[in-house]
Amino acid sequence: MSEKLNQLKEILGEVTDLNRAASVLSWDQQVNMPPAGGEARGQQMATLGKIAHEKSTSQEVGRLLDDLKNELSGSDSDDAALVRVATRRYDKDTRVPAEFVAEQAVVTTAAFEAWVEAKGKSDFSIFLPHLEKVVGLVKKYISFFPPADHPYDTLLDDYEPGMKTADVQKIFDDLRPQQVKLIKAISSAKQVKDEFLHKKYNEKKVWDFSEAIITKFGFDWNRGRQDKTAHPFQTTFSVNDTRITNRFEPGSPLATLFSAMHEAGHALYEQGSNPAYERTPLAGGTSLAVHESQSRMWENLVGRSLPFWEHFYPELKKSFPSQLDGVSVKSFYKAINKVEPSLIRVNADEATYNLHIMLRLELEIGMVEGKFAIKDLPEIWDAKMRDYIGITPPNVATGVLQDVHWSYGAIGYFSTYALGNLVSAQLWEKINGDIHDLDEQIRRGKFDALLGWLREKIHVYGHKYDPQDLVQKVTGSRIDSAAYVRYLTRKYSDIYAL
């Protein structure tokens, strides 16, 4: 290894340490911190963010990258990939002033606390001035970059490198009519019963069952933990310290199980990253769409499958005998896959989920373009919920305030959820071609072969390959909707006898 590469890795390692320390503060803010700590926490995160930004955008880093690009040109090695990814980040980060990074940390920390209060009180006016500041900073961020085909491209590229707004809109335009057609067919069929899912369930028993499930998946508790928060998320401090959070909803008590599976999918990806990539830009998942493919796969393609519940349902029934009395495993399977318009994105069924994402994408593009006034978002949200989903939220807590993402400035993020659904189905077809008895393994509660396949084909590569290249490498095609439509059609044709 060259001396210059050693120098670069040392600097990037320090930057990673600073960013991971900020992640610890962010995790603590959402899990443990008392409400009054918000202002000081914002300053702490601003300081760390500013130092990390100044260090990562130094002239020394620029010189090292220029020299190493020439030295490693044409190589497919991990070191060449590190330089490529680090160069891409450097080119973006050097356009953004350190003062802006610090200001954004202060603004978004306060915005998160305001969002928690606003959602709890179902009062958008509490969050409004904070969201206006957040969106103002997002527009300012876009201004640091050369004009793109669409201003939203700059934001999307932060989460899904190489993807354009027009690409996503094309994928969604192709997908939407096929999903609408399926939903209409389902709406004409006899609806499944699910009242037993909404009875009173003991919170601790549900929580414990969620941990038993993800333990079977292969979640390493020596390198991770699960805690409570307002909105489930996963965060990584190192390959040996991945955290997931969850919540309990009395109205949908078993949603805790699926949230655990979802966030564990993210964590399994992080735990499977090549340890040699630690403290470098190659650590972790390559993009949010690929990351979501992992979480949605474990939550839905595994966790909402009949073979899965043929294994776990007897134990669930033992834990909740009165709630599930007289309910067969097939009836339970149908109930957890019931298709109906719903208010909350994270609890939406697979057939309608992507419509929630398409709605949010349209709103984010409108905010970036200045087409929508922030104060009008609750009314715009409700109108688009009627257009997309066919229902109107009774309040802003179940409407425009339901997601945490905008509070911390993550505008450009939402489309990756739907893209992740598509990638999960593309991978699933490939996995089933390679593991011919996968359903039987799942039926026996065995997930080693599945996790091993994902570790070998996806997880170990971290950021080494760009997302579209990785999907192409593993499945033979770039991200598209065909496999997902096949999956949905097959699954719901069985459940609803279409």
Q: Which residue has the tokens 């697979």?
A: 350
Take residue 168 and report the two structure tokens written for it: 């996503």
Residues 392-431 as b/e (b if ≥16 CB within 10 A, e otherwise) read: ebeebbebbbbbbbbbbbbbbbbbbbbbbbbbbbbbbebb
Q: What is the pLDDT of residue 378?
A: 97
CATH of domain 165-495: 1.10.1370.30
Residues designated as active site: 263
Task: Report pLDDT for 346.
Answer: 85
Give the C-alpha distances (Å, rounded to integers) separating 241 from 163, 176, 268, 485. 30, 38, 11, 36
Q: How far apart are CA 337 and CA 347, in angstroms?
A: 11
Q: Tokens at residue 439, please?
A: 């359903």
Q: Which residues of 58-77 are buried (b: 16+ CB within 10 A; e: fewer)?
A: eeebeebbebbeeebeeeee
Tokens of 463: 């950021």
Q: Residue 224: what are its φ and ψ, rounded to 5°?
A: -165, 170
Confidence at residue 464, expressed as pLDDT on a 0 to 100 scale: 95
**pLDDT of the chain along its 498 residues, tens only?**
589 999 999 999 999 999 999 999 999 999 999 989 989 999 999 999 999 999 999 999 999 999 999 888 778 899 999 999 999 999 999 999 999 999 999 999 999 999 999 999 999 999 999 999 999 999 999 999 999 999 999 999 999 998 999 999 999 999 999 999 999 999 999 999 999 999 999 999 999 999 999 999 999 999 999 999 988 999 999 999 999 999 999 999 999 999 999 999 999 999 999 999 999 999 999 999 999 999 999 999 999 999 999 999 999 999 999 999 999 999 999 999 999 989 999 889 999 999 999 999 999 999 999 999 999 999 999 999 998 898 999 999 999 999 999 998 999 999 999 999 999 999 999 999 999 999 999 999 999 999 999 999 999 999 999 999 999 999 999 999 999 999 999 999 999 998
pLDDT value for 1: 57
- Total residues found in the chain within this entry: 498
Type of residue found at 151: P
Contact status, residue 49 vs residue 107, Cβ threshold 8 Å: no
Domain boundaries, the chain: 3-147, 165-495
CB 368 within 8 A of CB 138: yes
DSSP state for residue 302 in the 8-state scheme: I
